[in-house]
Structure 1
Amino acid sequence: MTEIQVHGFLYFRVPQGLRTPEMREQVRRATEEAQKFPGVVALYPYSLVGLRASADLGFWLATDEIEAYQWVGGRFLRTNLELTASLWGYVRPSQYTGQSGISVQVPGERKRYLVVYPFIKTHDWYQLSADDRRAMMKDHARVGHAFTEIDQVLVYSTGIADWEFVVGYETDDLKRFSELVTALRSTAGRLYTRRDTPIFTGRHGPLQDVLHEVFGEEDPQ
């Protein structure tokens, strides 16, 4: 199997007046072509309809390099979808635990919801000793371990994007996920969070179902 180097999340808005059967078919074809493109390991669709004004449709994309990620983004742009956010990063071990920040199986079955946001630490965080930072991250992990039904994707983009990390959480229960975030915000490390927005919440489903929600019924033949 191709080794995954990049996880990214593409979010699109359907331009006004283009929520049509023809546009739906263009997006369907683009998705199927993207899934077959060399270097693409997995591509999963999500509906954001009614959940965020800036996006109707999202894709979780895992590739072997950034070039494949860019090709997929370009292919969707040729459908006239408007790209409103692209959050991406590289897979690497944590400097605090030595372990990967990926606790999901890709390719594999997806949970019902995916919550994604960029993350930036404060400058003061990097002035702390490595031991202090490691202790805070262990406390962060301790809280997370009480929510074993929620999976994480954490990738790194320090110096190559406007954020330092991108984190995605898979869950079948959004209320339970909100409880996790509430608990994490009570930890000491929260003092060193500079930014963790915008937040994109999408619901996964088969491509046909997602496109139905975004574009409506198929054009009858």
Structure 2
Amino acid sequence: MTEEQIPLGYTLFAILSGPRPRHQAPTDADLAELERVVAGLPEAGVTVRGLYDVTGMRAGADLMVWLHTAPRSDDDPAALQRALRELRRTAALASFDLEWSAMGVHREAEFNKRHVPGYLRGEQARDWLCLYPFVRSYEWYLLPEEERSAMLAQHGRQGAKFRDVVANTVSTFALSDYEWLLPLESDELISLVDLMRDLRATDARRHVREEVPFYTGRRVEVSELAEVLS
């Protein structure tokens, strides 16, 4: 894929929180409606990368929704906003609050032009997703380029050891309170745990200003939501 062929790939993450105490579980009709909405979104230029059960991983969070502009679409960020509203209007999700959300977009990485988010490279969604925002130190962007490049190269080598982890780093400057969004996918949750631990031992770690909240969840089908959301 050439630089000209790489789409912007706008992406949107939404964390939904259900009512307390719980109402009744979504009915079969509710889930059928949600399934129809999800299936119809590609016509509007939107792909649902996944729905994720984040129950128990973080208080006040139940479901994570990952959307991105569809391949060969117009890369319209407003389409993602419309899609989220449409999903939240369904009976299954209408009573859920929006706990947290952020939008990102693919921009050329600082020193690695070859880095393209997995969802834009055709990587299939994995079973587990770990998402967190990221803000560099105030000094980071004022450091000499060669110094930053060396630190990021070390960081990249450390992460490359985890071949089963798909990185989807996107820029969120001006789109949220953060600078970057880091969605990491793997079929093995323990790989995400070990990767995040190992990346602590890199020089770039000295230039982290913020990297919370973390949201981690298991990818689920719409048919599973009767149990997940009950």
TM-score over 0.5 for the pair: yes
Q: Normalising by structure 2, report the TM-score.
A: 0.84
Report SS of the residue matched to 1:185: helix
Task: Give the AA of the match of 1:67.
Answer: A
Q: 2:180 corresponds to which letter in structure 1? A: F
Tell me the CA shift for residue 196 of structure 1.
0.7
Tell me which moved more, 121-130 or 98-107.
Answer: 98-107
Distance verdict in 2 for CA 1:180–1:21, change over 3 Å: closer
Structure 2 counterpart of 1:161, from 176, 189, 194: 176
Distance in 2, Cα, partners of 1:35 & 1:3: 22
Q: Secondary structure at the match of 2:13?
A: strand
Look up the match of 1:12: 16
Please identify, of 122-131 and 32-41, the stretch whose mean Cα deviation from structure 2 is larger: 32-41
Moved more, 23-32 or 206-215: 23-32
Query: Are 2:140 and 1:125 equivalent residues in the alignment?
Result: yes
Quote the offset at 1:20 in angstroms.
1.9
Question: How many matched pairs?
Answer: 215
Cα separation, 2, equivalents of 1:138 and 1:32 = 44
> What is the identity, as a one-letter code, of the residue corresponding to 2:50?
Y
In the superposition, relative to structure 1, how do residues 8 and 146 fare at CA in structure 2: closer, same or farther (>3 Å)? Answer: same
Tell me the alpha carbon deviations over residues 6-55 of structure 1, each in whole angstroms, 9 at most, x when there is no partner. 12211101112453245785465245314413010334111111222121
Cα distance in 2 between the residues matched to 1:22 and 1:175: 31
CA distance in 2, matches of 1:76, 1:53: 22
Q: Distance in 2 between matches of 1:85 and 1:24?
A: 27
Aligned with residue 68 of structure 1, among 59, 73, 79: 79
Residues 24-43 of structure 1 aligned to structure 2 (within 5 Å): 25-26=29-30, 29-30=33-34, 32-37=36-41, 38-43=44-49
Please, what TM-score do these two structures have when normalized by structure 1? 0.87
Alpha-carbon distance, 1:107 to partner: 6.3
8 Å CA contact 1:27–1:76 kept in 2: the answer is no
- Partner residue of 2:99? 84
Structure 1 residues 128, 23: CA separation in 2 closer, same or farther (over 3 Å shift)? Answer: farther
Indicate conservation of the 8 Å contact 1:44/1:60, yes or no.
yes
AA paired with 1:152?
A
Distance (whole Å) between structure 2 residues aligned to residue 100 and residue 65 of structure 1: 22
The match for 2:50 among 10, 30, 44 is: 44
Distance 2:86 2:31 in 1: 9
Structure 1 vs Structure 2 CA RMSD: 2.4
Contact map agreement 1:120 1:194 (CA 8 A) in 2: yes
Choose 113-122 or 88-97, whichever is displaced more: 88-97
| Secondary structure of the corresponding residue to residue 175 of structure 1 | helix
2:18–2:96 Cα contact (<8 Å) kept: yes
1:151 alignment partner AA: V
Provide runs of 4+ in structure 1 moved above 3 Å.
21-28, 104-109
- Specify the alignment match of 1:149 in structure 2: 164
Unaligned residue ranges in structure 1 (runs of 5+)? 216-221
